[in-house]
Amino acid sequence: MRPALHFTARTGWINDPHGLTWRDGEYHAFFQYVPGRVAWAPSCHWGHASGPDLLSLTERAVALAPGDGDDGIWTGCLIVDGEDVRIFYTAITEPDFGIGRVRVATPEADLDGAWVKGDVVVTAPAELDLIAFRDPFIRRDGEGWRMFVGAAGRDGTAMALSWTSPDLRAWEYTGVSLERSTAVTEPVWMGALWECPQFVTLDGRDVMISSVWDADVLHYAGYAVGDFDGDGFDAEAWGRLTYGDGLYAPSLFFDAEGAACLQFWIRGVGDHDAGWEGAHSVPYRLGCAGSVLTATPHPDVARHRGPRALDGRVAGLAADIEWSAASGRLTVRSGGAEAVVVDKGDTDAVVRVGAQEWTVPVGAAVRIILDGPVLELSSQAVFSAVLAPAGDDLHVETTAGTAVVYPLS
């Protein structure tokens, strides 16, 4: 079963989204891609898709592939500075692929065409004893640019390292912008490596968002809120953004209206008989309420709604549900069988899919997006799970509050 609105590759393995860009009236989305396999391998490519909105993407030709000194093309970012367009990616070599290098590529013509690999522009600082180094993220820094790269120290310290450049070509190392020991567990554990560490200013607060990794185990997305003074980040609060087993590798981008957004890789969604594995979440717009990072489904989701289902019944397996209740139960049935049960309390909800249960922090309003095998729930955090609908329809019932149900297409 393939989702209709969540991006999947025609065949092969996909994981991290990256380089999402609005340009010339359409979105371009890039992603880690291993063709011909339904399991991850170090020999990642950069896949490419584009479309008029973030839920209507069509897969294009591969942008970057191993070769020319690269055994794998791992996560990075795409930067547009007027007509200057550049991909900065993690170039790895086997067998010691934990320590990557940051390499640049430029398009021969436009984003849809071929890309030409250039120089390695950043390598791991020799003075640091690292076991991992990858995932460049670049943003404006005054009149120039700043690059952050995730790193893991042998002593269990997760770090975001920083470089600056006046022109996207020459890069100067400026040190460790933020670090935290894996031994620190309160108020949230942040692991031994921050994969995809990204920095953004939201509602006057500086935020670092990353994946939480430890000993080759992928956990969840977390964040820090504080102040960045140009070189160092003073973290005032730490938080966990994603729950469940699916969401990982958040990718920060700015949409057509200039709003800061995230999209995630969803693990566990695939059809091995059909030859594909991996999906991307719906996009989320970001905000900051005090020291709490907020993520709400992007307006492109609502643009795919059909007329409201007044009886809570949807023909098909894609729906967008807005539920407001102080407490109570929401049940989604498919083919008459329970597909999802959400038991909501004042501050938490227990989500049950089959024999599995998860506890997710929630507020008064809960948004639930269903798309074939994919469930996404958002309120005070973001959650996903994999479904196995029993029929080709959905029926939403609640014991309290109001549930507004829209079909999606």
In a shared domain, residues 268 and 358: no
pLDDT < 70: residue spans in the chain: none
Query: Can you spell out the DSSP letters for 262-281?
Result: EEEEEEEEEETTTTEEEEEP
pLDDT at res. 19: 96
In a shared domain, residues 260 and 372: no
In a shared domain, residues 169 and 215: yes
Query: Residue 102: inside a domain, yes or no?
Result: yes
In a shared domain, residues 321 and 297: no
Q: What's the domain range around 312? A: 305-407
In a shared domain, residues 391 and 336: yes
Is residue 302 classed as helix, strand or coil in its secondary structure?
helix
End-to-end CA distance of the chain: 16
At which of 270, 301, 332 does a domain end?
A: 301
In a shared domain, residues 296 and 326: no
Neighbours of 258 (CB within 10 A): 7
In a shared domain, residues 358 and 284: no
In a shared domain, residues 119 and 261: yes
At which of 280, 301, 322 does a domain end?
A: 301
Q: Could you tell me the CATH number of the domain that includes residue 333? A: 2.60.120.560
Query: Residue 6: inside a domain, yes or no?
Result: no
325: phi then psi, degrees, rounded to nearest 5: -165, 145
- Evaluated on CA atoms 190, 193, 195, 197, the torsion sign reads positive
In a shared domain, residues 67 and 203: yes
Query: Residue 63: inside a domain, yes or no?
Result: yes
Total tally of structural domains belonging to the chain: 2
pLDDT at res. 110: 86
At which of 267, 301, 335 does a domain end?
A: 301
pLDDT at res. 219: 97
In a shared domain, residues 286 and 394: no
Angstrom distance (rounded) from CA 388 to CA 375? 10
In a shared domain, residues 309 and 212: no
pTM above 0.85, yes or no: yes
pLDDT at res. 328: 97
Query: Residue 3: inside a domain, yes or no?
Result: no
Check if the beta carbon of residue 220 is closer than 8 Å to that of residue 247: yes
Is residue 243 classed as helix, strand or coil in its secondary structure?
strand
By CB atoms closer than 10 A (0-12, 13-18, 19+), residue 104 is buried
In a shared domain, residues 148 and 220: yes
pLDDT at res. 151: 98
- Strand boundaries in 184-317, DSSP class E: 193-202, 205-214, 217-228, 233-240, 242-244, 247-254, 260-271, 276-280, 284-289, 292-297, 313-315
Q: Could you tell me the CATH number of the domain that includes residue 166? A: 2.115.10.20
